[in-house]
Amino acid sequence: MPNRLKTAQRIVGAKQTLKAVQGGRAKEVFVAQDADERVIRPIIELCTQNGIRVTEVSSMAELGKACSIEVGAAVAAIIEDN
């Protein structure tokens, strides 16, 4: 899991990530392989359309840990610094 998620400005969760991708703020998106397909598919498709890199992570637990939260996360994104 990339350590840059721990130090970069990031958002966690499908709704916030989707908004960041739509708003052009997401630089890279991370998705958990064990996340519900209905949750992550629209985000992956939008990233593909907008040329945003998508990195798969083995599990929601691993992604949550990388984001310094104590619960699993389906999706997270590194966003532009403001």
- How many residues are there in the chain? 82
For the domain that residue 74 is a member of, what is the CATH number? 3.30.1330.30
- What range does the domain containing 16 cover? 4-79
**Cβ atoms of residues 4 and 63 within 8 Å:** no
**pLDDT value of position 8:** 84
Query: In whole angstroms, what is the distance from residue 78 CA to residue 69 CA?
Result: 15
* 72: pLDDT strictly greater than 70: yes
Query: In whole angstroms, what is the distance from residue 4 CA to residue 1 CA?
Result: 9
Domain count, the chain: 1
* 47: pLDDT strictly greater than 70: yes
The stretch 12-16 carries a mean pLDDT of 96
Pairing outcome for strands 53-57 and 26-32: parallel
* 36: pLDDT strictly greater than 60: yes
